[in-house]
Amino acid sequence: MGKVGIIGVGQSAFVRAYPGSLKELAFEGYKEAVKDAGITAKDIGASVVCSAPEYDKQRSPAGVIAEYLGLNPQPTFYVETLCSSSSMGLKLAYSLVKSGLHDSVAVIGIQKMSEISSAESQERMGRGTDIQWESPFGTMMPAYYALFAQAHMAKYGTTLEDLSLIRVKSSTYGPLNEKAVFRKSLNLENLTSPDSRMTAPIASPLRVGDCCANADGSSCIIIANEEKAKALSKNPIWILGLGAATNSVNLTGRKIYTGLPAAREAAKQAYEMAGISAKDVDVAEVHDCFTIAEMMAYEDLGFANPGKGKELIHGKETYKEGSIPVNVDGGLLSKGHPIGATGGSQIRTIVQQLRGEAGEIQVKDPEIGLVHNIGGVGLYGNVTILGR
Amino acid sequence: MGKKKEIDDRFKKFGTKSFTLTSKVNDFIDYLEKEKVMGTKCKDCNINFFPPRADCASCLKSDLEWFDATNDTGELVTFSKMKYGPIGFEKDLPYTIALVDFGDYKIFGRIGKNIADKDIQIGMKMKVKVNKLDNDRINYIFEKI
């Protein structure tokens, strides 16, 4: 069996409230990916639609979206792993191609969070955890990640300023990303001054500036088998490694609170499949839904030893010019986080980097890129490794 | 018309707002009402479960026994004081969620409001205690030892 290549990538702008329907939003990311690949719907053998349910009022969105995109009569699959849905969708699409069932597949990530109010949306996010034993205490995503931040600070001496530096990096690149929802520039003072809106508490120790924003958005990744990828694309990007893991939903089932075991396991699988190690990665996109999440990602992926993630950000090693550039498209903190679309957007950024088409945020001559995409509070971990 | 079958929905009383109606560990609620916070134990595998499970995934048996966690001493693993809460929890705000490690098992819950923020430290000794809420609802909180 040959390789599997990515031949087209696309995403909509990530916005607060998309002025159109779910399927119209899906069309935006799809159209960009199909044009990028230079193909038509006839070249696509199947679709995988990825979103987190309960935001969508539409029941069974996959079939409805496939029809609107002109993908009838091809089959469509629906994949959901909360915030990592479209990375998991890529893994399913890879298996569909690798098995020979389909020679090309479109992975469509989508979320229209504004279909419901922000308060309702927070409540639904919170229910991506243990609804029987945790939700009755009134939990929400920022508070879960805050538990990890608190534990990381206690064990490793991580400070609020360390976390703020991660947001400063995000906001260095957010203004350059025309698809990002948050494009204001923020400096360390904006993020640490007691008078700033950014330091208003959300769930201790996390503050407004530590959290990403909800958004509406769509993404699309089109993959094909080696023969078709070479025939259709001048510059396919190859899928070298795919790791996916799960962990206990209730935090009582965890052994550590300073990292995410599902991310560590997924990274191990992906490195092994690609035959590389952390030091071989030239550019990465990590799941920075909160600043602490990026800090833990540095450590879970092996870019830094446990507790040493802060040295990377202090040394600007994760900036564009650093030794391991991370989230130089602004990450979730600047782009916004439309749950089902996020993984596809991260993959798009890495594909553009590897093609040398990333414009102002282009990292120097990368060969290998990595995507780290987390569902829930580490309930699901996905790591994808791509190469030229 | 036959008599409508009664549903054992005791679990709906758990916490400020419950998202679960029925569970095979519904007796947990009865124990709470008797001031006991209970977990379950698989006799064959000798594993303590908190939150309590009805079924052991290791040996596939479902005749687990209850154990009492109420008087055990644990250590605070981590916590977060929430300024915002989900829909239905507005009146409780602000509150502090926490995780306490009791060795063989851990418990997720809230820290009692009688403990000042400045006195909350990771590693502090805590125990779990039943907490009665308004409208005949019930949960548990962590208290300092």
Closest CA to A305 of A278, A285, A266: A278
- Give the residue numbers in A contacting B (CB under 8 Å), as ranges: 119-120, 122-123, 126-127, 130-140, 142-143, 146-151, 154, 200-206, 250-252, 257
Per-residue model confidence (pLDDT) at position A225: 98
Per-residue model confidence (pLDDT) at position A54: 80
Summarised one tens digit per residue, pLDDT across range B36-73 is: 999 999 999 999 999 999 999 999 999 999 999 999 99
Which residues does chain B have within 8 Å of residue A120's beta carbon, measured at their own beta carbons? 87
Average pLDDT, chain B: 95
Average confidence (pLDDT) over B104-130: 97
Which residues does chain A have within 8 Å of residue B14's beta carbon, measured at their own beta carbons? 136
Indicate the fold that domain A4-117+216-232 takes in CATH: Peroxisomal Thiolase; Chain A, domain 1 (3.40.47)
Lowest mean pLDDT among A150-159, B5-14, B25-34, B60-69: B5-14
Secondary structure in 3-state letters for chain A:
CCCEEEEEEEECCCECCCCCCHHHHHHHHHHHHHHHHCCCHHHCCEEEEECCCCCCCCCCHHHHHHHHCCCCCCCEEEECECECHHHHHHHHHHHHHHCCCCCEEEEEEEEEHHHCCHHHHHHHHHCCCCCCCCHHHCCCHHHHHHHHHHHHHHHHCCCHHHHHHHHHHHHHHHHHCCCCCCCCCCCHHHHHCCCCHHHCEEECCEEHHHECCECEEEEEEEEEEHHHHHHHCCCCEEEEEEEEEECCCCHHHCCCCCCCHHHHHHHHHHHHHHCCCHHHCCEEECCCCEHHHHHHHHHHCCCCCCCCHHHHHHCCCCCCCCCCCECCCCHHHHHCECHHHHHHHHHHHHHHHHHCCCHHHCCCCCCEEEEEEEECCCCEEEEEEEEC
Q: Has residue B1 got a pLDDT over 60?
A: no
Spatial neighbors of A279 by CB under 8 A, at least 6 apart, are: none
Q: DSSP states of chain B as a string?
A: -PPPPPP--GGGGBSSS-S----TTTHHHHHHHTT--EEEEETTTTEEESS--SS-TTT-----EEEE-TT--EEEEEEEEESS--TT-GGG-SEEEEEEE-SS-EEEEEE-TTS-GGG--TT-EEEEEEEEETTTEEEEEEEE-
Q: Which among A126, A136, A200 has the least Cβ separation from residue B15?
A: A136
Q: What are the average pLDDT values for consecutive 10-residue runs of chain A, which has 388 residues?
A: 94 97 97 98 98 84 97 98 97 98 98 86 82 96 97 98 98 98 96 96 98 96 98 96 98 97 98 98 98 98 98 98 98 98 98 98 98 97 98
- Give the residue numbers in B contacting A (CB under 8 Å), as ranges: 11, 14-20, 23, 50-51, 77-89, 92, 95, 97-99, 105-110, 122-123, 139
Q: Is the pTM of this model over 0.95?
A: yes
Looking at A102, A152, A287, A337, which residue is catalytic? A337
Which residues does chain B have within 8 Å of residue A123's beta carbon, measured at their own beta carbons? 86-88
- Minimal Cα distance from B93: which residue of A? A138
Q: Which among A132, A136, A154 has the least Cβ separation from residue B17?
A: A136
Contact A204/B80, CB-based, under 8 Å? yes
What values do phi and psi take at A213, rounded to 5? Answer: -100, 150
Per-residue model confidence (pLDDT) at position A166: 98
Per-residue model confidence (pLDDT) at position A59: 86
Residue A337 among the catalytic residues = yes
Q: Are the C-beta atoms of residues A339 and A85 closer than 8 Å to each other?
A: yes
Per-residue model confidence (pLDDT) at position A55: 84
Domains in chain B: boundaries: 10-68, 74-144
- Minimal Cα distance from A252: which residue of B? B106
Domains in chain A: boundaries: 4-117+216-232
Looking at A83, A212, A220, A289, which residue is catalytic? A83
Residue A152 among the catalytic residues = no
ipTM: 0.96
Edge-to-edge order in the sheet of strand B38-42: B47-49, B38-42, B65-68
Contact B19/A150, CB-based, under 8 Å? no
Per-residue model confidence (pLDDT) at position A123: 78
- Minimal Cα distance from A129: which residue of B? B19
Angle of the A339-355 helix axis to the A85-98 helix axis, nearest 10: 60
Which residues does chain A have within 8 Å of residue B88's beta carbon, measured at their own beta carbons? 123, 138
Per-residue model confidence (pLDDT) at position B65: 97
Q: Has residue B5 got a pLDDT over 90?
A: no
Q: Has residue B24 got a pLDDT over 90?
A: yes
Among B108, B122, B124, B138, most A C-beta atoms within 10 A, so best to mutate, is: B108
Q: Which among A147, A148, A202 has the least Cβ separation from residue B83?
A: A202
